[in-house]
Structures are given as C-alpha cells and as structure tokens.
C-alpha cells in the first residue's frame, strides 16, 4: 500500500511512524497480543491463568510464548524478539548489570523447587549426597542456590558433590537411567518422577526456604516507556491469578486444565495436578510481594556462587512502581 501524500500525515501519524521505526515490536503491540515468554513449569502457572483470564474479558491480550530452556528465553528477551517474560531473578540482575534494558515488575510464585532421588537409592539424608552427581537447570537458577543453601546448612561445600547442568525436562529420565544420582529443579519435573514411582523428594523448598522465589515477571524498558498501561494490566492479572490460585482447590483444578493444554504447557494434566495436591502448598502464589531483603539475599547467594561478580544496585534491575500501583484483577474463569 503506497504512503499517503505528505499533506495528509498528521502529527499523530508521524509520531506513530517514528515509534514503529524505533521499536517495531512495540508498534505491533497495539493490535497484536503481547507475547510473554515462559517455561512449562508450575513456577510460571500464574502466566497461563493471567492469559486465559484476560482473553475471557477482552481488550489487549497477553499470549503465552513457550520456551524450553532459560538460555533461549534470555536470548529472545535480550534481542527484543519478546518484550516480557518470566525469568530467573539472578539472571535478570546479571542482564541489568550488563546494561540490557530489563526490569523486574512482579513475582510469579513462591516455593516450588525440590531435590529428588531414586526411591531405591541409599540416599536417606542430605549428607548422603557426598560425592554424588546432581543435576541443576542452570548456575543462574535459584534451584542451584537452594542446593548450595542446603550444603551450607549441612556443613558441606559444593566441592563435596558433582554438579551438572541439564534441561529440567531431561532430569527425570536421567535419574531413571542412573545418569545422575539426584536432581534439583522446579516442578512439575520432580512430581513427574515421583508420580511414576521411581523417585522421592529428599528436600523441598516448602520445608526449607518458605520465602523462596526464582521466576519473576521481567519486561524490557522500552515497553515500560511506550505502554505503561499494558504493563500495569499484565501485572494486575498476574497478581490476580496468584490470589485466585491460592483461594480454592477448585481454582487450581481449573488452572491445571488450562495449563495442560497445547496452547500453554502441553503436559499431562495429572502431573500438574499432582504438584497442586501433594502437598497443596508445594507451590504457592498468593503472596507475591516484592521484598527488597529477599532479593538482597538472592544476590548475596549468587555472588557466593560466582554467578554474579559483584553487587547490582536494586534500582538497576527492579521497577516497583507497578506492584505498588497494582489492583489484582478479578479472575472469572
């Protein structure tokens, strides 16, 4: 379609054209769903609920964009292929420190990580992991910090174990094949092996680290600058999803049916349901307050682990304004 004559270009259309040239992805946000990256893990469950709830009431939509690993989602966010995603909190700190324009705007969950061993394993207490091969999702993952936290509590060091990085979906099969002796990850990949009968939890964050967080809603600063109302609406729906999920078990059952679908996690609903019921607080979503001291602890643990080289200013990676202004959306699914 040819451009209209210069005389017909209003100031508003000139500004729109300039915005499109500077940030094509943002210009498209006005008439396309906002793609929000996420992994098929129950720590991200508030995202499918938020997307489905928003679709049910109309208006600008959010769309779940599924990724299989943290490296891929990180690259997409860095390159601007997506403008928002659930990300590992320490990874966001690192990106912001490297001047990638991203900000955390909300939590996504509480708890939800497990350390799994085979049911027939001789490993009965944590110290029995000495010399064992343990899989983690990433050295930036808070699951790894959980493992290190437990090592310190038991008077052990990372040198007492062998750590291998592995995509969480591969971990149950690796444990079954005895390629690893244990794995530490988020759900539902612990529940998958437990429900199948060949694995059991050795430690769970619900018992050891109640205020545990790992996945946080992260957005590019361009999106904040260009469309604050859309970011606020997304935060409102994520927080509303968290409240709704923890209100009733029936809400969790509905969330299982939504998340298991091909549009979202594309997983066996029985495995996700197992996470929601065994026990019911295996992962929680209702308390999504962003507390600075908790992020300070994550940062210190990351520095000790060597995944962060030095402290990162809180304001560099965090934008609390959306959480402070939030009005959790009513979820009517």
Dist CA 153 CA 131 (whole Å): 17
Q: Indicate where the chain has its CATH 3.40.190.10 domain(s).
A: 14-110+213-266+274-325, 113-208
Tokens of 108: 């996504």
Helix axes 249-260, 269-277, angle to 10 degrees: 150
The number of beta carbons lying within 10 Å of the beta carbon of residue 136 is 25
* pLDDT in the model for residue 27: 39
What string of pLDDT tens digits covers the 333 residues of the chain? 333 333 333 333 333 333 333 344 443 345 689 999 999 999 999 999 999 999 999 888 999 999 988 889 999 999 999 999 999 999 999 999 999 999 999 999 999 999 999 999 999 999 999 999 999 988 889 999 999 999 999 999 999 999 999 988 899 999 999 999 999 999 999 999 999 999 999 999 999 998 899 999 999 999 999 999 999 999 999 999 999 999 999 999 999 999 999 999 999 999 999 999 999 999 999 999 999 999 999 999 999 999 999 999 999 999 999 999 999 999 999
In terms of Cβ atoms closer than 10 Å to its own Cβ (0-12, 13-18, 19+), residue 80 is: middle
Q: How many CA atoms lie within 13 A of 292 on its CB side?
A: 8
Tokens of 234: 């997304």
Q: Can you give the pTM of this predicted structure?
A: 0.87
* pLDDT in the model for residue 31: 67
Which residue, 235, 188, 237, 224, is CA-closest to 51?
237
* pLDDT in the model for residue 30: 52
* pLDDT in the model for residue 59: 81
In terms of Cβ atoms closer than 10 Å to its own Cβ (0-12, 13-18, 19+), residue 107 is: buried
Residue 298 contacts residue 312 (beta carbons within 8 Å): no
- What is the Cα Rg of the chain in Å? 21
Pick the CATH number of 113-208 from 3.30.465.10, 3.40.190.10, 3.40.50.2300, 3.40.630.20: 3.40.190.10
In terms of CATH architecture, what is 14-110+213-266+274-325? 3-Layer(aba) Sandwich (3.40)
Which residue, 130, 144, 139, 135, is CA-closest to 116?
135
């Amino acid at each position: 379609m040819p451009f209209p004559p210069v005389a017909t270009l209003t100031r508003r259309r000139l500004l729109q054209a300039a915005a499109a040239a500077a940030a094509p992805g943002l210009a498209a946000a006005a008439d396309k769903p906002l793609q929000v990256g996420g992994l098929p893990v129950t720590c991200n469950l508030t995202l499918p609920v938020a997307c489905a709830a928003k679709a049910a009431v109309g208006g600008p939509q959010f769309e779940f964009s599924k990724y299989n690993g943290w490296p891929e989602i990180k690259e997409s966010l860095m390159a601007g292929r997506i403008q928002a995603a659930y990300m590992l909190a320490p990874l966001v700190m690192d990106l912001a420190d490297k001047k990638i324009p991203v900000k955390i705007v909300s939590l996504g969950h509480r708890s939800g990580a497990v350390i799994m061993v085979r049911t027939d394993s001789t490993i009965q207490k944590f110290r029995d992991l000495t010399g064992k091969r343990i899989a983690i999702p990433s050295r930036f993952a808070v699951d790894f910090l959980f493992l290190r936290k437990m090592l310190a509590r038991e008077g052990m060091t990372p040198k007492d174990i062998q750590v291998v990085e592995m995509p969480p979906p591969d971990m149950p099969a690796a444990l079954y094949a005895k390629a690893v002796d244990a794995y530490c990850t988020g759900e539902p990949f612990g529940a998958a092996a437990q429900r199948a009968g060949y694995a059991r939890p050795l430690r769970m964050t619900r018992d050891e680290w109640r205020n545990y967080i790992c996945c946080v809603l992260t957005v590019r600063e361009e999106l904040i600058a260009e469309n604050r109302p859309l970011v606020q609406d997304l935060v409102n729906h994520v927080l509303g999803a968290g409240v709704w999920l923890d209100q009733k078990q029936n809400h969790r059952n509905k969330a299982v049916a939504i998340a298991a679908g091909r549009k979202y996690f594309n997983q066996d609903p029985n495995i996700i349901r197992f996470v929601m019921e065994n026990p019911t607080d295996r992962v929680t979503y209702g308390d999504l307050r962003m507390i600075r001291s908790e992020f300070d602890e994550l940062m210190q643990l990351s520095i000790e682990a060597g995944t962060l080289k030095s402290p990162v200013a809180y304001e560099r990676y965090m934008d609390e304004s959306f959480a402070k202004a939030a009005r959790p959306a009513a979820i009517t699914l």
